[in-house]
């Protein structure tokens, strides 16, 4: 897009440069023709082919200078924009690196947390299994279907257990 803008500016500069130079030179040549004709000047004083060729050559040089200046200006602006964008990219890259480093720290904390929880849950599972091995399953009387009558459970005494 800058290429087209640069060519447009250069083309406009070229056209205006040629036109302005031609009119300026013709004006000054007209003055020289006036001086040569003993001061009888008018806007209709003719110019020679040589004078016109000189005016065109000067206008072409002015246009070339204008084009070079426009290209130099465009190149400088592109350099400025590139430097600005590179600074922005550098800042964003630093922010991304910091975020990545921060996330790595969070991930390491999560690994430690997960390992601690896994070990704790394993320990609790072992304790529950040990408790289940030490106890008997008791169904409360209220959970048994009605019609069986009342049930009375008495704990076994040490003397009764010895005789049995």
Read off the pLDDT of residues 40-82 as tens digits, 9 standing for 90 and up.
Answer: 556 777 888 999 999 999 999 999 999 999 999 999 999 999 9
On the question of pLDDT at 87 being above 80, the answer is yes
Burial of 103 (C-beta count, 10 Å sphere; 0-12/13-18/19+) = exposed
| DSSP of 103-123 | HHHHHHHHHHHHHHHHHHHHH
Least confident window among 8-22, 36-50, 51-65, 94-108:
8-22
On the question of pLDDT at 134 being above 70, the answer is yes
| Band of pLDDT at residue 147, cut at 50, 70 and 90 | low
| Band of pLDDT at residue 142, cut at 50, 70 and 90 | confident
Tell me how far apart the alpha carbons of residues 19 and 118 are, in angstroms, rounded to a whole number.
86
pLDDT at residue 152 in the model: 72
Distances, alpha carbon 127 to alpha carbons 12, 116, 133, 138, in Å: 90, 17, 10, 20
| Band of pLDDT at residue 157, cut at 50, 70 and 90 | confident
DSSP percent split of the chain into helix, strand, coil, nearest 5: 80, 0, 20
pLDDT at residue 156 in the model: 78
For the four alpha carbons of 70, 75, 78 and 84, in that order, the dihedral sign comes to negative
Q: How far is CA 66 from the centre of its chain?
A: 37
| DSSP of 12-59 | HHHHHHHHHHHHHHHHHHHHHHHHHTTT---TT----HHHHHHHHHHH
Contact between residue 74 and residue 4 where contact means Cβ atoms under 8 Å apart: no
Extents of the domains making up the chain: 2-133
Contacts of 38-44 spanning 24+ positions with Cβ under 8 A: none
Mean pLDDT of the chain: 79
Tell me how far apart the alpha carbons of residues 146 and 160 are, in angstroms, rounded to a whole number.
31
| Band of pLDDT at residue 114, cut at 50, 70 and 90 | very high
| Band of pLDDT at residue 12, cut at 50, 70 and 90 | low
* Residue with the larger pLDDT of the pair 49 and 157: 49
pLDDT at residue 39 in the model: 52
């Amino acid at each position: 897009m800058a290429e087209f803008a640069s060519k447009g500016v250069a083309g406009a500069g070229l056209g205006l440069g040629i036109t302005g130079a031609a009119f300026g030179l013709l004006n000054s040549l007209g003055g020289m023709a006036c001086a040569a004709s003993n001061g009888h000047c008018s806007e209709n004083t003719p110019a020679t082919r040589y004078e016109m060729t000189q005016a065109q050559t000067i206008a072409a040089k002015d246009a070339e200078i204008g084009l070079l200046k426009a290209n130099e200006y465009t190149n400088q602006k592109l350099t400025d924009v590139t430097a600005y964008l590179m600074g922005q990219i550098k800042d964003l890259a630093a922010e991304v690196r910091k975020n990545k480093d921060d996330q790595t720290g969070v991930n390491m904390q999560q690994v430690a947390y997960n390992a601690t929880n896994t070990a704790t849950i394993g320990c609790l599972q072992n304790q529950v299994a040990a408790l289940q091995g030490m106890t008997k399953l008791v169904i409360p009387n209220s959970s048994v279907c009605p019609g069986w009558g009342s049930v009375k459970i008495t704990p076994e005494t040490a003397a009764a257990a010895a005789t049995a």
